[in-house]
Structure 1
């Protein structure tokens, strides 16, 4: 990806914050979704939003290729990158599914657990169900940030069996080394801005979970947590089978399994991402032959704004979808204005 930021948007912090808040996400109307609630094998549920086409396709229409988008930490189908990918899918005539991790669809889930960065079993279950519902069509999956790490973790865990569910996968701004990313977000400007932003939603949702399941964790310890490290130590790690934060960050990271991936996989990491230190990024000799690394100098964390003020965020989705489509045997067109900064 040869991304060049516009002159009015210098630096990784601005390239992260501005696109999420102000840049255009779509080139047409805001995408509409149809929501399905799926019961999980353990008695819980997730909500999956499907791109709605107006007018609806006739029953005799050929099945559409499917793009699956996994969101990041505390994201949803309405995150800026989710709407940009859905807008792209609509332009290309693809179906698009946007699964929500547990508790991220606007309603707290039922089970005494939530979601985490290495939730590869959940990824595998979702993709297998989508493949079953969309047989015989290209199926491409992209994960953003946390969703990207979980997606690559799944692809590495199952190896050649991943091809039964997907034709190609991509991860954008995934914290492949969770310890490096976790420590980065806990320092300086990141701690004051992004850490606080995540804690404002994570802590209330954890308290809702405690209300559902009294005694699940130490309420006082949760309320004293001031960063993701402490939050993961009290909540995320023990609820999902990890000893503590260090164990969670180590065992859930996708980086050690990148050489085990056996389907086409694109890994996009800007080198100025405030959440993902450049020194922690994988090098070519650390990944398998099925993995392509894109590590542009700029882009921030899921930013990639292009064009004139206020910019748009379609440069990255267009580039990623073009790569995925090529591996899935599809033709796709990229907007001219999306190709340049």
Structure 2
């Protein structure tokens, strides 16, 4: 019996060592394990190259602008390869706050007054060390418009400034009323349909540097605001050109997409709480005209807009506001070159609405407008989680 027990212990030890060696080394080093890994890798690579990596789809309103972009911005015609390990839109959006860096930018703040007695906070990056444009009077100026509840501190804005710095440009960030820490002086915030504050900022910046080329770029809601402004003002704007990223072309479709169960859980409810937090800081300014308790019970962006935004800006119904806020209905009136980048899998702007907007029958053939659809990297996926 003693001898048998010793043999069993020895056999069990040898068996455990064998299994440990096989699990640790044998599976991954054996033909079967290697074949499984290689097979999965090949299948994933084939799917990625055939279904994910694609060339942007371009829709242009003018041949000359299209040729200009192809010559000076060839990336709009090259195959786009999203992040291999995270190419899905929702995954990118959720991971972006955790993996993106924040370049250091030193701002110069300026508060300007509005016609109704309010104030707007502008954050300037003057780029005083610009070697390409040492003359401050002619240094190109880029106006940046963040997304919903976004400010000059957003990572995507900081990266845009960093790239502009390398080009020698000056940047100024338009912070919507009440979101950048400044006090509200009047009971009014902002929305993407009302362009009065943006007009005030554009005229102010242009007066400061009338000889400098003036450009603008808007992300998400900032892009919607910019396009609505351009559609209202037409060719009379002092802006020479503009770009937008991840714009919601049709507000109704955007809202419907965000109200799908998974999208509501991942994005809609969170963004609603961000909106509620931004207005609750100035609660005392709105209590006379808006039921703030009702606003704070909103569970979606649509409910927030119905109870707060549409009421503040005098719309009879939420449908009236969403109709006025949709940039696709104003494309025919845009009078300067505009490049718009949209992702085909953006949950905030469904692809079928993007294509419908790009095929608007009223888009004039001589207009400098180009719509590009692609899958942007997390850094371009704007609003996206924290500042849509």
Q: What TM-score, normalized by structure 2, do the two folds share? A: 0.72
* Residue of structure 1 equivalent to 2:312: 239
8 A contact 2:221–2:247 mirrored in 1 = yes
8 A contact 2:245–2:380 mirrored in 1 = no
Give the Cα separation in 2 of the matches to 1:137 and 1:14: 40
* Residue of structure 2 equivalent to 1:78: 153
User: What secondary structure is seen at the aligned counterpart in 1 of 2:243?
Assistant: strand
How big is the shift at 1:295? 0.8
Residues 113/216 of structure 1: CA separation in 2 closer, same or farther (3 Å cut): same
Give the Cα separation in 2 of the matches to 1:315 and 1:276: 12
User: What secondary structure is seen at the aligned counterpart in 1 of 2:296?
Assistant: helix
Answering whether residue 94 of structure 2 is matched by residue 17 of structure 1, we say yes
* Aligned match for 1:214, one of 287, 293, 297: 287
How big is the shift at 1:132? 0.9
How big is the shift at 1:21? 3.2
Residues 315/248 of structure 1: CA separation in 2 closer, same or farther (3 Å cut): closer
* Residue of structure 1 equivalent to 2:234: 159
Give ranges in structure 2 of 5+ residues lacking alignment. Answer: 1-75, 383-388
* Residue of structure 2 equivalent to 1:269: 342
* Residue of structure 1 equivalent to 2:171: 96
* Residue of structure 2 equivalent to 1:330: none
Q: What TM-score, normalized by structure 1, do the two folds share? A: 0.81
8 A contact 1:184–1:274 mirrored in 2 = yes
* Residue of structure 2 equivalent to 1:61: 135
Residues 258/20 of structure 1: CA separation in 2 closer, same or farther (3 Å cut): farther
* Aligned match for 2:369, one of 273, 291, 312: 291
How big is the shift at 1:244? 2.3
Residues 48/62 of structure 1: CA separation in 2 closer, same or farther (3 Å cut): closer
Residues 10/56 of structure 1: CA separation in 2 closer, same or farther (3 Å cut): closer
Give ranges in structure 1 of 5+ residues lacking alignment. Answer: 306-312, 317-341
8 A contact 1:167–1:263 mirrored in 2 = yes
Residues 213/223 of structure 1: CA separation in 2 closer, same or farther (3 Å cut): closer
Give the Cα separation in 1 of the matches to 2:149 and 2:87: 26
* Residue of structure 1 equivalent to 2:256: 183
Q: Which of structures 1 and 2 has the bigger CA Rg?
A: 2
1:259-338 paired onto structure 2 within 5 Å: 259-281=332-354, 282-286=357-361, 287-288=363-364, 289-296=367-374, 298-299=375-376, 304-305=377-378, 313=379
* Residue of structure 1 equivalent to 2:108: 34
* Aligned match for 1:7, one of 64, 84, 107: 84
Give the Cα separation in 2 of the matches to 1:259 and 1:103: 32
Answering whether residue 203 of structure 2 is matched by residue 125 of structure 1, we say no
* Residue of structure 1 equivalent to 2:266: 193
Give the Cα separation in 2 of the matches to 1:78 and 1:195: 22
CA deviation digits over 1:244-291, x for unaligned, max 9?
Answer: 221111112111011111111111111111111111112245434321
**Normalized per residue, which structure has more helix?**
2
Residues 258/21 of structure 1: CA separation in 2 closer, same or farther (3 Å cut): farther
8 A contact 1:146–1:175 mirrored in 2 = yes
How big is the shift at 1:62? 4.3
Residues 140/189 of structure 1: CA separation in 2 closer, same or farther (3 Å cut): same
* Residue of structure 1 equivalent to 2:121: 47
